[in-house]
């Protein structure tokens, strides 16, 4: 397995093919990716011998004060997922970005995807800083058909990347959203009666496998979308950040929110 920085048009055509294979949607135009990589962007390809099996596309951003790298797409062929390639690509991206003078990498992800939440918050040590409701309107790609595209904004300080997170003690009285025996979302009494802005930590449950729920019960999937929207919008507005993510071994996993 080899991860390299891409800089040739033929390599970007491989990215297009891979993007269409993964998302089942038209790819980003070549002129856009080529311009991005020649103006502060980073595009990586992961190869198994001479076959591209993954890519990562990022371009520069600016908020009026600081420049940062926007990590827009990371796609891996299905048969190569869960093999640690995603983390290797993100680490390589961070190394190159730091060499170029960046201090921060940002991206968004679906808050109901446990695997992505655990990867971003726990494995990489990044922070979820904001909630964005229906960011891209209604997607129609392989992963998001007919579901609102809510997102959590990730900020990854690459000066301190992959810091080990301290173990968090789970306090049941601090869970704001939970899962019942029917795998449905339940906004808890903790939220209605005990939630306040001064608490140090709160926990929010999401399904361990949201994609499976979407495939078998679209109404239940939308219930989870609406319940998480309610909780996440308020908790981010109140100054909390998604600081970690706990894999429980049950049908649900848990966000850890701290001030």
Query: Using only C-alpha atoms, what is the Rg of the chain?
Result: 19
Give the predicted TM-score (pTM) of the model: 0.90
pLDDT at 61 over 80: yes
**Alpha carbon distance 7, 155 (integer Å):** 26
pLDDT at 140 over 70: no
The tokens 């170029």 sit on which residue? 100
Q: In the prediction, which pLDDT does 145 show? A: 53
Q: In the prediction, which pLDDT does 93 show? A: 97
DSSP result, 115-166: HHHIIIIIIS--EEEEEETTTTSB--STTTTTSB--EEEEEEEGGGTTPPPP
For 119, residues 6+ apart whose C-beta sits below 8 A from its C-beta are 86, 87
Full set of structural domains in the chain with CATH: 2-160 (3.40.630.30), 172-258 (no CATH)
**Alpha carbon distance 127, 153 (integer Å):** 8
Question: What percent of the chain lies above the pLDDT cut of 70?
Answer: 94
SS3 at position 229: helix
At 241, is the pLDDT very low, low, confident or very high (cuts 50, 70, 90)? very high
At 48, is the pLDDT very low, low, confident or very high (cuts 50, 70, 90)? very high
**Alpha carbon distance 128, 111 (integer Å):** 10
């Amino acid at each position: 397995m080899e991860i390299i920085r891409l800089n040739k048009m033929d390599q970007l055509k491989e990215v297009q093919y891979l993007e269409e294979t993964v998302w089942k949607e038209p790819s980003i135009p070549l002129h856009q990716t080529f311009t991005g990589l020649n103006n502060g962007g980073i595009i990586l390809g992961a190869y198994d011998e001479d076959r591209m099996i993954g890519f990562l596309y990022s371009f520069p951003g600016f908020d009026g004060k600081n420049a940062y790298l926007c990590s827009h797409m990371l796609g891996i062929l299905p048969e190569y997922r869960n093999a640690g390639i995603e983390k290797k690509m993100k680490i390589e991206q961070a190394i190159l970005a730091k060499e170029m003078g960046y201090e921060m990498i940002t991206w968004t992800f679906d808050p109901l995807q446990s695997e992505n939440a655990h990867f971003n918050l726990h494995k990489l040590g990044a922070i979820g800083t904001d909630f964005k409701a229906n960011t891209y309107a209604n997607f129609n790609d392989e992963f998001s058909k007919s579901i609102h595209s809510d997102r959590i904004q990730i900020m990854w300080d690459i000066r301190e990347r992959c810091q080990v997170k301290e173990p968090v003690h789970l306090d049941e009285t601090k869970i704001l959203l939970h899962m019942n025996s029917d795998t449905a979302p339940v906004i808890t009494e903790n939220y209605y009666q005990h939630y306040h802005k001064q608490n140090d930590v709160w926990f929010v449950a999401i399904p361990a496998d949201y994609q499976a729920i979407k495939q078998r019960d679209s109404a239940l999937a939308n219930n989870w979308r609406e319940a998480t929207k309610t909780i996440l919008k308020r908790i981010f507005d109140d100054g909390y950040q998604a600081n970690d993510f706990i894999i429980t071994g049950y049908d649900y996993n848990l966000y850890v929110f701290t001030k």
